[in-house]
Amino acid sequence: MSKVKTARPNFVSTTNACKLCTPLGASLAFRGVEGGIPFLHGSQGCATYMRRYIISHFREPVDIASSALGEKNAIYGGGPNLKKGILNVMKKYEPKLVGVATTCLTETIGDDVPMYFNEFFKEFGDLDLPELVRVSTPSYNGTHTDGWHGAVRSMVEQLCVEDHADTGRVNILPNMVSCEDIRHLRDICDHFGIEATILPDISETLDGPALEDYVKIPEGGTPISEIKAMSGARATIEFGRCLPRETGGTSLETRFGVENHRIGLPMGLRESDRFFEVLESVSGNPMPRRYELERGRLVDAYVDGHKYIFGKRAVVYGEEDLVVGLCAFLSEIGVDVVLAGTGSRGKGLEGAIAQVTHGTARVAPEVREAVDFHDIAAEAETLAPDLVVGHSKGYRYAREWNVPLVRVGFPIHDRFGGQRLLHLGYKGTQALFDRVVNAVIEKKQADSSIGYGYI
Amino acid sequence: MTVKIADILEERRDQIHRTGEGAIDIACNRESLAGAVSQRACVFCGSRVVLYPIADALHLVHGPIGCAVYTWDIRGSLSSGPELHRLSFSTDLQETDVIFGGEKKLEAALDELIDRHSPKAAFVYSTCIVGLIGDDMEAVCRKMTEKKGIPVLPVMSEGFKGNKRAGYEAACKAMFRLIGEGDTSGISPVSVNIFGDFNLAGEIWIIREYFERMGVQVVANVTGDGRVNDIARCHGAALNLVQCSGSTMDLAKMMKEKYGIPFQRVSYLGIEDMADSLYRVADFFKDKDPSIVERTQALVRDELQKLMPELARYRKDLEGKKVAMYVGGSFKAFSLVKAFRHLGMKVVVVGSQTGTKEDYAELAEITDPGTVIIDDANPLELSHFIKEKDVDVFVGGVKERPIAFKLGVGFCDHNHERKEALEGFTGMLNFAREIHASAMSPVWQFAPRRANRIRAARKEAVNE
């Protein structure tokens, strides 16, 4: 059996981190709300760096406001700049929601954002104010996934405060997935006859159409009215086996009795089956024919392709729940995950992987939390992988080991269309499966002295 | 002068000027306005961009993970040898470090990383949080310098302590500690240091080749393809050539003061500025080496003979098209304005993150009436002027790209991340090719802004 090494006894320093900072995750989540603009309470650099980073993946304008704190503010507190910043954002962007995430700077100087919000409401209550949501995201505590989940929970807890009449809707908290994944989820719900509140919904706000004008805040995103009515939903489905104990989903369950279904990201056949079973049960409708067919085609493809990939050794890394989903999928198709790593710590990654690979995995992977790429590389040397599955940042290592990198997740900085990659459901699994098989075939061709054109 | 436009916040109106509309008195070098979504970064960013390309140094970011990870291998700065600069090192401060202080962790990280990579020097960057918790970086660096036998240099770059400019200064101060440490023997009296070039896509190699042909020795590249030992002995050079003046002028001034080395502002972008820079270097050395002038003339002549016919082909298509540019330092903008003239194009909007009053005055001087000059802009202002001026091509960095693209406007990356060499005569051709590809693609006719206009024009034609 494998052993989880969370404390990284070997290295003090971090080399090529396999995680991003907390406010980035919060910014992404706030971008998935209708009329929402992310606002980082900190120095100007944080917002700019994160914008730059996110833009490179989504290739969309990403406007993140900042309280642009300077040295004086660091000493006397950032309240005045926060308030002025919100007012300026209101003037120029006319947002429906301003999502304020703190940074290491403002957390450390002890800025009291709830108090500033109260003052702001008192001072400017006569204005037509947007919704203000705050989340505490010190960047020395957790990773971008914590920022994401924290922002989602904050939105649920700060916007959905009343017991809403039964809406018959289903809440979906989809975790950090792609724009295409969200679009696919919405289609699935439509076909099940489910009206879904997907929070956040970045499908349009971070993958928008070409337009006549520069849109201050792109259309789309979860409507605020829907968020407020989440308490009236018939159920919540939240994706993630490594989620924090308390999330938007558990909060709705505790406060309003909305049944919370916590399932893994629907990746691979069995995890997707679980998702579709939950949809059947919450909708009362059987699985639509089209998904039976998708599932059937997927099984057929698994069979057709099994020999190309059986026994290949994969290194997998990324966000904790994505890693779990990938392990579920890869173990089903006979790929041995030899190392599964995430930059997060304390997320129960090993247990989650054991659950989703039970009965399919032939070997238990080395599971590493709080890894960086230096750790991964140190392990991988002895593990001799055939395949690397993760985001773009593993490219230099895959290149060094001369093995293919199948790009999934965030960020995809060295390929085009990362926001349109599909990972979820039978269809997403199919797309992943084709990519994995083709990556192996391509490598075989590249290495071949004959150059088989018929494989 | 004020511009009454809804997209511009009242407090920012004095940071925008139109050439020809009265005397230029633009407000600049002030803190970014809260909530304005500035395109600017921070002090840390300023120091990081300057020092980043020193390829045989260890660059350790002392702070939480974000600052290191967002600057990991994002630049197109190439190295002809070591590639240590392309790795991202951090102390990844955690909550307990913030409470109890990060000095021990920093020391242990340096210990570990210096042993692992045997760098020639280490730069340690402070971040916001380090400034707040008060780690004594100076003391840790001093101790590690003694222990490891290499220079370990603190870079005082707390993000909130000003803007990018303050970071440039912090970087120059850190480098200045290195200078004077190396042996200057073997340095020719006809020698220069290249300051303020970052070897994006190998540009410095183009420029070095020109100097070689002129008979000028290049002692140190500061900082593109930079080496610690070269920088340590660069006080032996006869002349400093400062391109990106925002980032390295401070260092040139410090060297002039301490070592008496004169400096010249140069630019390797565009035909005139490239040629002019080479001529001025030749002029500087002509007493020591009289034939240098002739060699330089021959060089420029040869290069132009190759270049001009090719440029003419691009110019045919590009004549009359309009350009907006938003750059980090404004010095680059001067050269670009001239370079675009060679392509028959007109610059109608020009702005920068960190320009000075003098820079903007010079821009007002060289641009046509009506050109918008803007300091510390944001997406709404940029998109406003792109539309108002109906530009065909936008020149900027990654954050500006989607703004241009959303509006159906061609884009040329002229920032740290670009992978095309745009300097020198060779670079001018690459530049023309890229601008041509950016402006002439058929895709723009499908982008709504133009598509709708084309449709309207057709409709009108039918009605007539």
Beta bridge pairs of residue A222: A33
* DSSP E strand boundaries for A258-330: 260-263, 313-317
Tens digit of pLDDT at every position of chain B (464 positions): 344 456 788 888 999 999 988 888 899 888 889 999 999 999 999 999 999 999 999 999 999 999 999 999 999 999 999 999 999 999 999 999 999 999 999 999 999 999 999 999 999 999 999 999 999 999 999 999 999 999 999 999 999 998 888 999 999 999 999 999 999 999 999 999 999 999 999 999 999 999 999 999 999 999 999 999 999 999 999 999 999 888 999 999 999 999 999 999 999 999 999 999 999 999 999 999 999 999 999 999 999 999 999 999 999 999 999 999 999 878 889 999 999 999 999 999 999 988 889 999 999 999 999 999 999 999 999 999 999 999 999 999 999 999 999 999 999 999 888 899 999 999 999 999 999 999 999 999 999 988 888 888 888 888 87
The second-level CATH assignment, the architecture, of B43-176 is 3-Layer(aba) Sandwich (3.40)
Q: Which carries the bigger pLDDT value, residue B417 or residue A312?
A: A312
**Contact at 8 Å (CB) between B373 and B363?**
yes
The ranges assigned to domains in chain A are 22-159, 170-283, 289-447
A289-447 falls under which CATH superfamily?
Answer: Nitrogenase molybdenum iron protein domain (3.40.50.1980)
| Chain A, chain B: beta-carbon pairs less than 8 Å apart | 233
3.40.50.150, 3.40.50.1980, 1.10.10.60, 3.90.1150.10: which CATH number matches A22-159?
A: 3.40.50.1980
Label residue A9 by pLDDT band (50, 70, 90).
Answer: low
Do you find a cis peptide bond into A360, omega within 30 degrees of 0? no
* Predicted pLDDT of residue A1: 41
CATH 3.40.50.1980 range(s) for chain B read 10-29+316-450, 43-176, 191-304
Pairing of strands B393-396, B410-413: parallel
3.40.1550.20, 3.90.79.10, 1.10.357.10, 3.40.50.1980: which CATH number matches B10-29+316-450?
A: 3.40.50.1980
* Predicted pLDDT of residue B165: 87
Q: For tokens 């997320």, name the residue.
A: A347
Distance in angstroms (rounded) separating the CA atoms of residues A162 and A164 = 6
**Contact at 8 Å (CB) between B126 and B157?**
yes
Choose the closest CB to A17 out of B69, B161, B405. Answer: B69
Phi, psi of A195 (to 5 degrees): -90, 115
Choose the closest CB to A55 out of B42, B72, B399. Answer: B399
Separation in Å, CA of A279 to nearest CA in chain B: 37
CB contact under 8 A, B35 and A74: no
CB contact under 8 A, B399 and A52: yes
Separation in Å, CA of A330 to nearest CA in chain B: 28
CB contact under 8 A, B72 and A16: yes
CB contact under 8 A, B37 and A65: yes
3.40.50.1980, 1.20.120.450, 3.40.140.10, 3.40.50.720: which CATH number matches B191-304?
A: 3.40.50.1980
CATH of segment(s) A170-283: 3.40.50.1980
A50 to chain B: closest CA residue: B70
To probe the interface with B, which of A40, A56, A81, A140 has the most B CB atoms within 10 Å? A140
Distance in angstroms (rounded) separating the CA atoms of residues A342 and A322 = 9
| Contacts A211 to B, Cβ<8 Å | 406, 448
ipTM for the whole complex: 0.95
What Cα–Cα distance (Å) separates residue B214 from each residue in B222, B298, B299? Answer: 20, 9, 8
Distance in angstroms (rounded) separating the CA atoms of residues A434 and A442 = 12
Phi, psi of B353 (to 5 degrees): -80, -35
* DSSP E strand boundaries for A288-440: 313-317, 336-341, 366-368, 387-390, 405-407
Helix/strand/coil percent split, chain B, to 5: 50, 15, 35
Separation in Å, CA of B1 to nearest CA in chain A: 21
B392: nearest Cα among B433, B342, B345: B345
pTM above 0.90, yes or no: yes
